[in-house]
Amino acid sequence: MLRFPLLLTLLLAACSTLPEAPAQLRPVQSELVPFAFNGRVATRHNGERTSAGVRWTHRGVEDEILLLAPFGQTAARIFSNEQGVLLEASGKEYFEQDAETLTERVLGWHLPLSGMRYWVLALPAAGTAADIERSDNGQIKVLRQDGWEINYTRYATEMPDSLPLRMHMSRDGMEMQLLIDEWEI
């Protein structure tokens, strides 16, 4: 009699679905596909260093970037769409037509959001020239575009269209390190 419940349990367990594996490869036409990732970001500008957790969600023309304090509280929120860019931090709201102008005004350095939505996928941004160095397996190793140099130091797999997990960006004394812990595509 004990065998029947055990057998039933084993059969039900065998029929259950496995959890989805984390995204590792860029989908075809990546710039058109929504994405989200969780990770960490560190910046250095004029000798000042900052770090935070980051949650970036991209859907069509909208981007939402949450900068998170050590215990997961939202320290700042950047929301971008066709109307402009909103930055919320410390109970205040700031608005401009583009992220570069907004972050330059509020933070003292500019966040290249229009390019980064491509660069985080290891793609050159549309509309401007890019200089690309590739590794032996075809992955982008260094991308230079719009005055920024982006070094990709780690990917999810060795495949040429793998998603990046670690990148270092620099321009005019501004440095940004992005570590991606989890992709959702």
User: How buried is residue 58: exposed, middle or buried, by Cβ count under 10 Å (0-12/13-18/19+)?
Assistant: buried
How far is the first Cα of the chain from the last one, in angstroms, to the nearest whole number? 47
Cα–Cα distance measured from residue 43 to residue 75, given in angstroms and rounded to the nearest whole number: 15
Q: What is the pLDDT of residues 115-141, one digit of tens each?
A: 999 999 999 998 999 999 999 999 999
User: How do the pLDDT tens digits run along the chain, 185 residues long?
Assistant: 544 434 333 333 444 444 445 577 776 555 568 999 999 999 999 999 999 999 999 999 999 999 999 889 999 999 999 999 999 999 999 999 999 999 889 888 888 999 999 999 999 998 999 999 999 999 999 999 999 999 999 999 999 999 999 999 999 999 999 999 999 99
- Predicted pLDDT of residue 18: 42
43 DSSP β-pair partners: 50, 176
- At residue 65, the pLDDT reads 97
C-beta separation of 25 from 162 below 8 A:
yes
Look at residues 46, 16, 56 and name the one whose alpha carbon lies nearest to residue 183. Answer: 56
* Distant-in-sequence, close-in-space partners of 70: CB < 8 Å, separation ≥ 6: 53
Distances (CA, A) of 30 to 3, 20, 41, 122: 50, 19, 22, 10
Query: Are residues 35 and 184 in contact, defined by beta-carbon separation less than 8 angstroms?
Result: yes
Record the pTM. 0.83
In the chain, what are the domains? 22-184 (2.50.20.10)
